[in-house]
């Protein structure tokens, strides 16, 4: 058994992630490119590398950046995903087409925005030790969003992940042309072993045009 999608074991998660974004940008189907980003320490490493590696290869002026999830905190709070994305990537790459940070006060606006965008070229997702992805936690109400709903507020019923959250839904992710998961570090070995047996956790419910799992050797245990 394996999780839905393709698994690639890599030496350097950040470099592999940057390569995937650069390749996806080069192969884009339209003039613009829609990129949905995530939070967490792995994302920070990946975005810093993307800023460097993609400098000459991505025309950021045609890229629309959206968020896959956000913590309901101030925009400049150290826990805010938008702060991470600005620091690690946006502040380093110059002008973008657009950036759409999530605001927990405007979930319906984000829902409409996502529904209006014809296709998401690339969605970056992480894997939490409990199997969560974006802010879709095990047994959370966000997993049961009505069909057609693209963004919701959500909380972790176990209390393990702090803050109320805003997140894209599985239905929104399904509209992605490509999803790339990054799974890094020894702390992910146990959950990766479950995910790679296709255990039922939020991350293994993700479907999209293409799903690619980048897993580093520490997480994969090889």
Q: Where are the beta strands (DSSP E) in the chain?
A: 6-10, 33-37, 63-67, 69-71, 98-100, 120-126, 151-154, 165-168, 176-183, 211-216
Rounded Cα–Cα distance for residues 66 and 39 (Å): 12
Residue 126 binds to ligand 6PG (criterion: CB under 6 A): yes
| CB 29, min distance to ligand 6PG, A | 26
Position among 43, 58, 102, 151 found at the interface with ligand 6PG (CB under 6 A): 43
Letters for 129-148 (x = contact with ligand 6PG by CB under 6 A, - = none) are: ---xxx--------------
Q: What Cα–Cα distance (Å) separates residue 61 from each residue in 81, 113, 122, 135, 144?
A: 22, 19, 16, 28, 36
For ligand 6PG, which residue of 42, 140, 169, 196 counts as binding (CB under 6 A)? 42
Please tell me the distance from the alpha carbon of residue 191 to that of residue 179, in angstroms, as a whole number.
19
Residue with smallest beta-carbon separation from ligand 6PG: 126
Q: How far is the CB of 44 from ligand 6PG (least distance, A)?
A: 7
Nearest to 167 by CA among 37, 65, 22: 37
Residue 135 C-beta: closest distance to ligand 6PG, Å: 6
Which of residues 128 and 171 has its CB atom nearest to ligand 6PG in the complex? 128
Residues 6+ apart with CB under 8 A from 51: 88, 89, 92, 93
> At which residue do the structure tokens 């939020």 appear?
202
128 binds ligand 6PG per the rule CB under 6 A: yes
What does the alpha-carbon distance between residue 43 and residue 129 come to, in Å, rounded to a whole number?
A: 15
Torsion of CA 13, 17, 23, 28, to 10 degrees: 160
Which of 111, 105, 99, 9 is closest to 47 using CA atoms? 99
Binding segment for ligand 6PG (CB under 6 A), chosen from 41-49, 52-60, 115-123, 149-157, is 41-49
**Interface pick for ligand 6PG out of 7, 40, 99, 164 (rule CB under 6 A):** 40
Choose which of 39, 54, 142, 202 interacts with ligand 6PG (CB under 6 A).
39
List the interface residues with ligand 6PG, window 52-111 (CB under 6 A): 69, 81
Nearer to ligand 6PG, 63 or 180 (CB): 180
Q: Which residues bind ligand 6PG (CB under 6 A)?
A: 38-43, 69, 81, 126-128, 132-134
């Amino acid at each position: 058994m394996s999780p839905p999608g393709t698994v690639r074991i890599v030496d350097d998660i950040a470099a592999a992630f940057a390569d995937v974004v650069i390749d996806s940008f080069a192969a884009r189907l339209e003039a613009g490119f829609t990129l949905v980003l995530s939070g967490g320490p792995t994302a920070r490493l990946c975005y810093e590398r993307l800023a460097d590696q993609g400098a000459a290869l991505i025309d950021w002026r045609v890229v629309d950046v959206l968020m896959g999830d956000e913590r309901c905190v101030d925009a400049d709070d150290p826990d805010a995903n938008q702060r991470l994305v600005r620091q690690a990537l946006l502040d380093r790459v110059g002008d973008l087409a657009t950036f759409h940070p999530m605001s927990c006060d405007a979930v319906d606006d984000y829902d409409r925005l996502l529904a209006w965008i014809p296709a998401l070229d690339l969605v970056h997702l992480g894997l939490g030790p409990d199997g969560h992805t974006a802010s879709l936690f095990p047994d959370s109400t966000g997993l049961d969003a009505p069909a057609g709903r693209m963004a919701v507020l959500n909380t972790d019923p176990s209390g393990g992940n702090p803050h109320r959250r805003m997140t894209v839904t599985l239905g929104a992710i399904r509209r992605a042309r490509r999803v790339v998961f990054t799974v890094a570090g020894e702390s992910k070995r146990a959950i990766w072993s479950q995910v790679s047996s296709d255990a039922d956790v939020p991350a293994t419910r993700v479907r999209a045009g293409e799903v690619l799992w980048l897993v580093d050797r520490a997480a994969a245990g090889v």
